[in-house]
Structure 1
Amino acid sequence: MSSLQLRSELFVLDTPPRHGLPGLKMSAKRYSTPFSDPQGLTLLFAHGVGAHKEQWEPMLRHLFFHQKLEQPHSRIREAWCFDWLNHGDAAVINKAALERRSPGDVSVAEWAVAIASFVRSPYVREHRLVGFGHSAGASAIMLSTRAFPLRNQPFVALFLIEPSMLTRELWMSHLLERESKMTRSVSAALRRCHVFDTREEAASYFRERKPWKGFHSDVFDVFMQHGFVIHNGSVGDTKVALKCDIHHEALAYQDIENHFEATDQYTRLCRAVPVHIVFGSIHDYVPSYFQDCMTDVSQGRSPASVITVPGAGHNIAQQTPEAVASAISVGLNSITRDSAAHLLHRL
């Protein structure tokens, strides 16, 4: 499996203006394989806080391999992975523009608008689209659907992987716990070392710390390869630094309102588009009531399928890429057999 060839192309995309200012740039990679099927599905991926688009590569190798053996309509045409506009390569490209922003940061909602803009672009015109998001990326993918009529969505299905979505009511009922967790996440981000003399020093540091020490080795290698940028020190020496500024990561943990709105949109959308959910069995960062919220049929939240991956926690995409690929494969095969009829039935 590790020998499977993933072809990738890097793109830098324009995004819509914001509050009268020019839009930021969104970095993206398009992945394909020698057996990509032009009649197959086009997959769009959004990562979580502190991550980057390349985190999906180990999982994608497994997923492309799984789907190449399936029916033509279930195979993969290509996959696009996006950087949050202040994460990964986008953080480097947008560095000067981000420093001019005062106050504020790049919310999940702004990233969602950028993704929706891409969905309208010629790159994927007349493609059969499937959206994927992990953690906060699940909210970004869900919020991107607000740009389109409920009954005329560009997606044939959506996959939410360990979504960090919750209703306002549940947040308020667990307010002290939620605020305490948010404070700890912000504090941990701001305390973290983020500039190192060498890449080897950085690797030693992160191998001993959560969540990185729980990453699959292939994902950790990708993190070391793509998560850092050359940094010129104050005395002219060269160091390596995280691409995602720790202050931007800290602000992302406080972007609560947009997760409420994503949950509301999911409640509306799941009646029109199949939404598949992949959870981890370990409630390490996200309590079980997040999962209960996403599957509360009494409130109209009815996913097309739910798969729980044993032994994985919230960072499931980085911990168990092969298991995530297997879970996604099951969902793809079940919802793409006759997606048009399925949509009509749900409407």
Structure 2
Amino acid sequence: MTSLQLRSELFVLDTPPRHGLPGLKMTAKRYYTPFSDSRGLTLLFAHGVGAHKEHWEPMLRYLFSHQNLEQSSNRIREAWCFDWLNHGDAAIINEAALKRRPPGDVSIAEWAAAIASFVRSPFLKGHRLVGFGHSAGSSAIILSTRAFPLRNQPFIAVFLLEPSMLSRELWMSHLLEGETLMRRSTRATLRRRNMFNTREEAANYFRERKPWTGYDPDVFDVFTQHSFHSVVIQNGSEEETKVTFKCDMHHEALAYQDIESHFEATDQYTRVCRVVPVHIVFGTIHDYVPSYYQDCMTDVSQGRSPASVRRVPGAGHGILQQAPEALARAISVGLNSITTDSTSHLLHRL
């Protein structure tokens, strides 16, 4: 791991009302370094199902180090990583509100609206924004762009990392495979052990199981440090302290079934890629998402024209967890293609 030490601040952000009810809270971390440059780029990150905002940290250390060597306009000013509203720290803060909702009710589209609300906030006024999403987070970042006029987008570039987006037509033509994959992911999450005596016991359990066996060691450390929290349960007449996931397993399992948001994101990506450079990074191993997902994202005949496509050798769908350093290198190439002309997209013009 690079010796770079990221500094971070934790934020709890309000989100827009939904169906006349107060919005949930969104937790976020702002990352920066002593050499962060105010003329540089502000990066926004959305994670995938079952992950949380801290999963980005190992990759971010490499990325900040790479960009520190570039001209000031391509350095990183700061990075913001968000928790899905029922994942990570947000799941703890929203626990009472989430119990009043049916499991699976926090869609990718609702998270996207929360991200868009933050993009409009004073926090980012005048910043040059670049959006990043991994897996389902790609759909969240893309759907957040619907809150802005197509010709006046807040992002000067977008990066989609192993996106799980697909057109409705392709989903229907591979319906049996898609539904089987969705059921398998749902079932595996619900069957997973969810309660441990200590954090160390949890770490030892997952260290021997897929997909965690393929995690980069630094990412695995982040996983064990930030995925769990302590709960007190009643055992007969006695209380016991146990360790469990912050994200309720039912919320995580049902997140795999939010396919409608992926369809909508694919349609929006087709529109957005005409006005904003969209860079895509895939892994070379089709271990979870079938190859036709990649074909869909690069189908020029359907108007899907990414600015660049890069592939990280030896990585699969969990590219963020498996290969943070290689992913940072691939992202750096795209960041360095951003020109200073992109200042015309400054957020204060919205």
User: Is the TM-score greater than 0.5?
Assistant: yes
Alpha-carbon contact 1:5-1:34 (below 8 Å) kept:
no
Q: How does 1:89-238 map to 2 (within 5 A)?
A: 89-102=89-102, 104-235=104-235, 236-238=239-241
Per-residue deviation, residues 213-264 of structure 1 (Å, max 9, x unmatched):
1100000000111110111122311111111111001110000001000000
Q: Say if 2:255 is the partner of 1:257.
A: no
Q: Which runs of 5+ in 2 are unaligned?
A: none
Q: Say if 2:308 is the partner of 1:311.
A: no
Q: Say if 2:270 is the partner of 1:272.
A: no
Change (3 A) 1:205 1:15: same
Shift of 1:202: 0.3
Q: Say if 2:309 is the partner of 1:339.
A: no
**TM-score with structure 2 length normalisation?**
0.96
Aligned with residue 246 of structure 2, among 240, 243, 248: 243
Matched letter for residue 274 of structure 1: P
Shift of 1:103: 6.5
Alpha-carbon contact 2:49-2:256 (below 8 Å) kept:
yes
Comparing 141-150 and 209-218, the one that deviates more: 209-218
Output the CA distance in 2 between the equivalents of 1:135 and 1:259.
10
Alpha-carbon contact 1:91-1:243 (below 8 Å) kept:
yes
Alpha-carbon contact 1:26-1:114 (below 8 Å) kept:
yes
Shift of 1:209: 1.4
1:281 maps to what in 2? Answer: 284
Alpha-carbon contact 1:131-1:155 (below 8 Å) kept:
yes
Matched letter for residue 298 of structure 1: S
Matched letter for residue 218 of structure 2: D
Output the CA distance in 1 between the equivalents of 2:199 and 2:288.
28
Output the CA distance in 2 between the equivalents of 1:185 and 1:340.
42
1:68 maps to what in 2? Answer: 68
Q: Which runs of 5+ in 1 are unaligned?
A: none
Number of equivalences: 343
Output the CA distance in 2 between the equivalents of 1:117 and 1:341.
21
Shift of 1:341: 8.3
Output the CA distance in 2 between the equivalents of 1:249 and 1:141.
19
Output the CA distance in 1 between the equivalents of 2:118 and 2:211.
31
Q: How does 1:296-307 map to 2 (within 5 A)?
A: 296-307=299-310
Output the CA distance in 1 between the equivalents of 2:114 and 2:167.
24
Shift of 1:105: 1.4
Output the CA distance in 1 between the equivalents of 2:21 and 2:199.
36
Shift of 1:104: 5.0
Per-residue deviation, residues 170-217 of structure 1 (Å, max 9, x unmatched):
000000000001000000000011110011110111111111111000
**TM-score with structure 1 length normalisation?**
0.97
Change (3 A) 1:225 1:342: closer
Per-residue deviation, residues 52-81 of structure 1 (Å, max 9, x unmatched):
000000000000000001011100000000
Cα RMSD of the aligned pairs, angstroms, is 1.3
Output the CA distance in 2 between the equivalents of 1:60 and 1:38.
18
Shift of 1:2: 3.2
1:57 maps to what in 2? Answer: 57
Q: Secondary structure at the match of 1:306?
A: strand
Output the CA distance in 1 between the equivalents of 2:54 and 2:8.
10
Change (3 A) 1:232 1:224: same
1:2 maps to what in 2? Answer: 2
Shift of 1:3: 2.0
Change (3 A) 1:297 1:93: same
Per-residue deviation, residues 20-40 of structure 1 (Å, max 9, x unmatched):
111000000000011111110
Shift of 1:102: 3.5
Q: Secondary structure at the match of 1:31?
A: strand
Shift of 1:283: 0.2
Matched letter for residue 121 of structure 1: S
Alpha-carbon contact 1:130-1:157 (below 8 Å) kept:
yes
Matched letter for residue 195 of structure 1: M
Q: Secondary structure at the match of 1:2?
A: coil
Q: Say if 2:284 is the partner of 1:292.
A: no
Alpha-carbon contact 1:44-1:81 (below 8 Å) kept:
yes
Output the CA distance in 2 between the equivalents of 1:200 and 1:224.
8
Q: Secondary structure at the match of 2:151?
A: coil
2:323 maps to what in 1? Answer: 320
